Amino acid sequence: MLVLGLNGNFSTAAEELVPGMLEFFFHDSSASLARDGELLAAVEEERYNRIKKTTRFPSAAVRACFEETGLGPEDVDAVAFYFPEDHVDKVLGQLYCQSPAVPLRYSRDLVRDRLRSELGWDLPPEKLHYVPHHLAHAMSSFGHSGFESALTVVFDGRGENASGTVYRIGPGGVESLASYPVHQSLGFWYLFGTQLLGYGFGDEYKVMGLAPYGDPARYRSVFESLCSLGEGGGYELLGNVVTPNAFLPAMLDTGFAPRRKGEEFTRDHKDFAAALQETVERIALHVIRHWAERTGERALCFGGGVAHNSSLNGVILRSGLFDRVFVHPASHDAGAGTGAALAVEHRLTGRLPRVALRRADLGGGLGDERDVVLKLKGWDGFVELVHRAADLEDLVDTSARLLADGAVLGWARGRSEFGPRALGSRSIVADPRPAANQTRINAMVKKRESYRPFAPVVTPDAAAEYFEIPDVEAELGFMSFVVPVRPEHRAGLGAVTHVDGTARVQVVTSTANPAFHRLVERFGELTGTPVLLNTSFNNHAEPIVQTFEDVLTSFLTTELDYLVVGDSVVRRRPDFLGALDDAVIRFRPETRVVGRVRFPVGGGRVEEHEVFLDYAEGPRKTISARAHGLLTRVDGKSAVAELVDGEVDDALRQEVLDLWTDRYFTLGPA
């Protein structure tokens, strides 16, 4: 049976369902194809529309799933959506009440309409099925674990009416053991703490990275006053955790000053992050321990957005409660569409899907090598060829030698990864040994806070030598677990060892990603250290790169030394800025260019110019009058120099480069 899993809302690039709809409504849009429990393709819509955590209907993701598998709508037996129909319609009804000018349309019609208008697919209504949200999360984790039976725990912000659900899944089917209401949401609790640190929705992982810099004891008593553990795996979060911000009154009483975006982190902020992380670990482990002991299950499948907290996962791994642990590489809502597909297969066939997932390169590809070579020629004004490999060993050897010499590489090959982690298909890689590489890459590529850690990738043969990995069967290839770095190797892995001596490790096998495994192995042969620094290939303004054009754009707007794309190694031309003159600017569907004239009370006339991306929380930037004039003439065909009648200077080139870096538009060869 072939099932298409969907999640997201019903807005498109051309039409927002409800004007100004917030980013919470059906975030992490994605599509996936599963056949008889095996995941054939899965990709997030953000990889194509370039909006982080996008909520929009996954049209491009569906298209990519079909293109990569060679399948089409005619092959699909069922379509699965990751929330119940009545719940989705209730949410839509609330939105319509807030926007009475919007026509009333409900989910079943909207799903079918979007498939028809975006893909030309007239889906029969009886083929569309809906799945409870936490069941979708549970099935994605259990169904891809390969386990015969398991305790399956889901924690997230919320589903329909619950923020946590505990299941036992096995040959006897799916048994729901307990649920935890929305006012006990660990996901929301962590988000509210994240907001007090100047971050927003989707930034929780940054707080997890900050936590090891703090002392949890500083605010432990405050957090203990805000929660309590009960019998039977129960707990309470005291105070209002439905309306933000639950922590604020208690924290203000201590003299704590919330951080604003862009401000430096104080000792208070770091200690707060540490106490928040410690408390969430304590509550989650309390629940999981109770149900493990109650059921006697020695296998755990963990799902929902909270399962992306790799520090918590490391605590679970080391708890001694389980012999086997599985965390899905897309435990957030993107993976719930996959779980919905598996749940529908179970519903329609009676068979419980149980196909182990051992690799995450399930997304769209770059095209074949001939396509890559041809496209590189089009970018000849920007990059120059360093080496075209004769075979994989040649490519790996060339790349490993560059890394051993201190270069930082972009590495893009094959199909992209499903989930928020780059695992060797869309990665930035570097030597993990110099501690300076951590701050260097944060500054040169990510333009982000210097405290943010990077992950190591290691071969299976060397993993236990460098890292303290518990004797638990766990899929370590998805970068889901934080483990201690062995003390004798912490100084020697300075760029990937966090301040507390831990690392979010990835163990790459020759079957999961042969080329990436061989790269790490070859680097070890050259240096004696079979470990690399691995981080996602993107800059601060975008999701992980997906297409060839994304790859070249990200490479050219960061300070990476070399790019490996397909079997080619290229570098930026020293004078590439001049190539902007002959490049073509193309607006994204969300790009807006604005000019204003103000007449202040005191007299005079003030002109203002701005560019912004028109979606919830989209960025905006003040621009010069010259840049405004250029952008108002963009037609998607004419080169930059043509748009300004040849009057291009370095100042305008730099402004165009800065706007391109912030992804206000795309730019490329004519």
273 and 152 assigned to the same domain: yes
For residues 222 and 492, give the distance between their C-alpha atoms in angstroms, rounded to a whole number.
Answer: 38
Give per-residue pLDDT as tens, 422-455: 999 999 999 999 999 999 998 888 677 788 889 9
611 and 629 assigned to the same domain: yes
For residues 88 and 8, give the distance between their C-alpha atoms in angstroms, rounded to a whole number.
Answer: 11
565 and 591 assigned to the same domain: no
Give per-residue pLDDT as tens, 95-131: 899 899 888 999 999 999 999 999 999 999 999 999 9
What is the CATH classification number for the domain harbouring 300?
Answer: 3.30.420.40
194 and 294 assigned to the same domain: yes
157 and 302 assigned to the same domain: yes
Q: Give me the number of domains the chain comprises.
A: 4
Last residue of a domain, one of 572, 589, 610: 572
Mean pLDDT of 486-501: 98
Note the pLDDT of residue 482: 98
Angle subtended by helix axes 107-119 and 85-98, to nearest 10? 90
For residues 277 and 270, give the distance between their C-alpha atoms in angstroms, rounded to a whole number.
Answer: 11
Average pLDDT, the chain: 96
Last residue of a domain, one of 572, 594, 624: 572
For residues 29 and 645, give the distance between their C-alpha atoms in angstroms, rounded to a whole number.
Answer: 42
Question: How are the residues of the chain apportioned to helix, strand and coil, as percentages rounded to the nearest 5?
Answer: 40, 20, 40
Mean pLDDT of 599-618: 92
Note the pLDDT of residue 617: 86
| Share of residues in the chain with pLDDT > 90 (%) | 90
Mean pLDDT of 563-576: 97
- The beta-strand segments (E) located in 424-572 are 426-430, 455-458, 473-474, 481-484, 502-507, 531-536, 562-565, 568-572
Give per-residue pLDDT as tens, 6-33: 999 999 988 888 887 776 679 999 999 9
Residue 392: inside a domain: yes
Residue 196: inside a domain: yes
Residue 355: inside a domain: no
568 and 616 assigned to the same domain: no
612 and 544 assigned to the same domain: no
- Does position 245 have pLDDT exceeding 90, yes or no? no
Last residue of a domain, one of 101, 133, 165: 133
Residue 199: inside a domain: yes
Residue 443: inside a domain: yes
**C-alpha to C-alpha distances, 498 to 129, 295, 456, 503, 646, nearest whole angstrom:** 44, 36, 11, 6, 50
165 and 313 assigned to the same domain: yes
285 and 212 assigned to the same domain: yes
558 and 609 assigned to the same domain: no
Residue 473: inside a domain: yes
534 and 622 assigned to the same domain: no
Range of the domain at 496: 369-572
For residues 617 and 13, give the distance between their C-alpha atoms in angstroms, rounded to a whole number.
Answer: 16
- Does position 152 have pLDDT exceeding 60, yes or no? yes
Q: DSSP assignment, residue 266?
A: P
Note the pLDDT of residue 249: 83
- Does position 243 have pLDDT exceeding 60, yes or no? no
Give per-residue pLDDT as tens, 217-241: 999 999 999 999 999 999 998 765 5
**Contact (Cβ atoms closer than 8 angstroms) between residue 301 and residue 153:** yes
Note the pLDDT of residue 288: 99
Burial, 636: exposed, middle or buried (Cβ in 10 Å; 0-12, 13-18, 19+)? exposed
Note the pLDDT of residue 143: 98
Give per-residue pLDDT as tens, 363-405: 999 999 999 999 999 999 999 999 999 999 999 999 999 999 9
Q: How many CB atoms lie within 10 A of CB 266?
A: 12
- Does position 169 have pLDDT exceeding 90, yes or no? yes
**Maximal C-alpha separation, the chain:** 79
Note the pLDDT of residue 623: 98
114 and 183 assigned to the same domain: no
For residues 385 and 563, give the distance between their C-alpha atoms in angstroms, rounded to a whole number.
Answer: 10
Residue 341: inside a domain: no
Number of residues assigned to the chain: 670
Note the pLDDT of residue 452: 85
**Alpha helical stretches, state H, 467-569:** 487-490, 514-527, 548-556
- Does position 149 have pLDDT exceeding 90, yes or no? yes
Q: Which residues contact 144 (CB under 8 A, 6 or more apart)?
A: 39, 326, 328, 338, 342, 355, 356, 357
Give per-residue pLDDT as tens, 523-563: 999 999 999 999 999 999 999 999 999 999 999 999 999 99
> Among 17-31, 46-60, 303-317, 495-509, where is mean pLDDT lowest?
17-31
Note the pLDDT of residue 244: 52
CB-side neighbour CA atoms (13 Å) of 441: 28
**Contact (Cβ atoms closer than 8 angstroms) between residue 670 and residue 639:** yes
Residue 351: inside a domain: no
